[in-house]
Amino acid sequence: MDRSSWMIGDRARERALSAGARRRRREKAQAREARESVRLWRAIQGSVIIMIPYTAHMSLSGVMTPPVEMLTDDGYDMQFGTNVLGHFYFTKIVMPALLKGAARSPDGTARIVNTSSNGHWFGSMDYNTFKDSPARRKRSAMSLYGQSKMGNVLFAAEVARRYGDQGIVSTALNPGGIKTELGRYFNSFTQMIGNMVFHDVSFGALTQLYAGTTAEGANLNGKYLVPWARIGNTHPDGQDPHQASELWNWLEEQVKDL
């Protein structure tokens, strides 16, 4: 191989490493961005009168199977911190506006939609792994992903129990296999298979929109939806009120000083 080929290869590796570093910085910044969003929300709430009721809140962002060594800036497992704790915190902050929106909306409801996954069937809650620990580092990235998706299901169920009588309609759902960058950490073979069997990104919001915007969605409190816009079943643990309450209390403890 001539010298120019080596130089091209070196530049390609540098670009790949640079892209990976940028992506890791972006993901680690998500918790910080959630805090900034909350501060902006509070400023807006304090300075203007919102004329349109706030009646739909969708927790959509997430991360899937990053390297296990990746953590949030606060030291949480990247997947649990992004997929569960961040969504809990933002939902907690906007809940007063959602309750006001429910009181003012024509159907008397406001919707909270949490994006989970079929992966929750392979997840169980181990509190020793929510932050970095020897126990966490023994887990696979996929098992930690499943744990975070179970967290979404439990959180949505607890919101339904706590706020359902105040007009809040809380759902969790599996959006389906969609061709997005969510699987960017998969190996090349898995990505190839995914591109063959997953659906176009245009399908990705169908079930969320059904839960969050349709008239039928007002009757879905506590339900779990599957593609496309159908009521499905969760793992039995996902409907365990004791587990859901325990998770809620843990989440509250994490954000109490923010």
Active site (catalytic) residues: 116, 145, 149
Q: In the block, which residue shows the tokens 């915190």?
A: 89
Q: Specify the amino acid at residue 63.
A: V
Measure the CA–CA gap between 113 and 173, rounded to whole angstroms: 8
77 vs 82: CA distance, rounded Å: 8
Q: Are 57 and 18 in contact (CB under 8 A)?
A: no
Q: Cα separation of 66 and 183, whole Å? A: 9
Nearest alpha carbon to residue 27 among 60, 68, 70? 70
Whether residue 237 contacts residue 123, with contact meaning beta carbons closer than 8 Å, is answered with: no
